[in-house]
Structure 1
């Protein structure tokens, strides 16, 4: 992947980690609240996997937040 994609995945992972920790949820606890495996949640937070848009929906449902909160960040679009 290119730098922009890597940065995007990293920022998305940071947001997910922020809201998961804010709700005091472990990976397993969040996984029980949505249909995303706990090991995949860990990989998303580390920016290691490219996910489908519906995964964002599932994660936001599990966290009890609107999907836009997970995507509320900026990336540098030009290298």
Structure 2
């Protein structure tokens, strides 16, 4: 069985988050305005440079106008 690398998982989550944001037509600044996170941190999350806490997932969901479960509904890639 292939194991999941933590940095790969962060990167996969960030790609998924960015896809949701772009599909909504929101800029980083708009999401920043709609939730309690700043634009820089949202960018770091999207680029897989930042660990996401549960409270952050709920803030992002609020800012994107989605349910938190949508942010976790992605298929992580696996590292061989």
Q: Structure 2-normalised TM-score? A: 0.86
User: What's the offset of the Cα at 1:74?
Assistant: 2.8
Structure 1: segments with no counterpart, 5+ residues: none
Look up the match of 1:72. 73
Partners of 1:58 and 1:68 in 2: CA distance: 12
Structure 1: 4+ residue segments shifted above 6 A: none
Partners of 2:74 and 2:14 in 1: CA distance: 11
User: What's the offset of the Cα at 1:72?
Assistant: 1.2
Partners of 1:37 and 1:24 in 2: CA distance: 18
RMSD: 1.5
